[in-house]
Amino acid sequence: MKKVWFTILTLVYLEHSMRVGSAPICAYGQAGCLLPSLAELFDRVIQHSSRMHGISSDLHSEFEQYFLPSKNLIGKRKCHTYGILTPDDKENAQRIGREQLTEVILRLLGAWGDPMSQFYQSMSEDQDQDFNHYSSNKALEVGDMVHELRDGVSKMAERMKLLGVLDNTVGFISPESFVPLSGISFYKRGELRSMDHHDLLSCFRRDSNKVKNYLQILKCTTLPGLDC
């Protein structure tokens, strides 16, 4: 009888303690706020990356619509992130493991922070081009998004390390070590500045898609649940 009561009480206590309060959520664990769970962090990060990819697709398609009528273009393009080795299909992504996947994500995000911030500058300087207001707004926005997403993923990685899900081999990665020419200058091809921007946008679209997919795989391998 006593045992039954004890178990009941323990269950009640556990249930009560696990209830989510209405305290504000904070990232640093300040006094008086609840830390978000890992699942919540994942959701936020994935949402953010999805949005970033959407904007990059829009930018690319608008660019192609206005400036480049023919769809299939000559010339093999090269992205400035070619030095970063990324898994190029599902099996490989699942095979390399969480730590490496996280590292790849962080590298990619680190490599794209500066170019996208400079992209808007470069766009507005070029008088030949006539980016409409809607696109220029997105161009401004996307520069910040890359930085924010990078910070978010870093925090998430820290949390995963704390939880023991991630090994400590993942460290802070400086983007310069893997990118030969950081920034937008990689894409300059002489006089044809519109070409530079086209390559930049298609490379960015691709890499943002990679980031999004990798994050989703990371989530489902770390926290298999309803969404996966």
Partner 1 sequence: MRTDLGLALLLLLSAAVESNSMSPPGKPVLLGCRSPEKETFTCWWEPGSDGGLPTTHRFLYERERLEGTHECPDYLTAGKNSCFFDKVHTSIWVDYYLTVVASNALGNATSDPFKIDVMEIVMPDAPGNISLRVMKREDNPYLHVRWESPQNTDTKSGWVTIKYELRFKQENSNEWKEYTSGTQTQFNLYSIEPEVTYVVQVRCRLDHSSWSEWSNSSSVKTFNYPQSEKPFWILLSSLSTVPFLTLCVLVMKRKYVKQCLLPPVPGPKIRGIDVHLLKGRPEDVNNALINNQTFPSVSAWKDESEEYLIVSDDVRLPDSYSSQKRKKSLTIAAGLLLDFETHCKELSLSQMDREKAEERKHEINNFANSNASLSGVGLFKKETLPEAADQTWSSCDPAESSVLSICGYVDIHRHKNTQEVDVNEVDYTRVKEVNGDKILILHKDRVHGCEDVQTREENIPEDYSRVEEVVGDYQLLLQRQSSSWEKSDRYTVFTNKKPRNPHETGACVTKVGPDLIVSEYVDTFPTPPLM
> Bridge partners of 34?
25
**Site for partner 1, rule CB under 8 A:** 50, 53-54, 57, 72-73, 76-77, 86, 88-91, 93-94, 206, 209-210, 212-213, 216-217, 219-221, 227-228
Shortest spacing between CB 157 and partner 1, in angstroms? 18
Task: Tell me the C-alpha distance between 185 and 169, whole Å.
Answer: 32
Segments of 92-218 assigned E as strands:
none
Whichever of 122 and 207 has its CB closer to partner 1, that residue is 207
User: In the numeric block, which tokens belong to residue 133?
Assistant: 């207001």
Q: Which is nearer to partner 1, 112 or 122 (CB)?
A: 112
CB of 204 to partner 1, least distance (A): 12
Q: How far is the CB of 57 from partner 1 (least distance, A)?
A: 6
Whichever of 90 and 189 has its CB closer to partner 1, that residue is 90
- Least separation in angstroms between residue 217's CB and partner 1 is 5
By the 10 Å C-beta count (0-12 exposed, 13-18 middle, 19+ buried), 169 is classed as exposed
Residue 224 to residues 81, 96, 170, 221, Cα–Cα distance (Å): 31, 17, 22, 6
Q: Residue 15 has which token pair?
A: 């249930």
Q: Nearer Cβ to partner 1, position 122 or 203?
A: 203
Q: Which is nearer to partner 1, 194 or 209 (CB)?
A: 209
Q: Cβ of residue 1: shortest distance to partner 1, in angstroms?
A: 46
In our burial notation (b when 16+ CB lie closer than 10 A, e otherwise), range 16-42 reads eeeeeeeeeeeeeeeeeeeebebeebb
When the beta carbons of 57 and 136 are compared against partner 1, the nearer one is 57
Is 87 within 8 Å of 96 (Cβ atoms)?
yes
Kindly state the smallest distance separating residue 219's Cβ from partner 1, in Å: 6
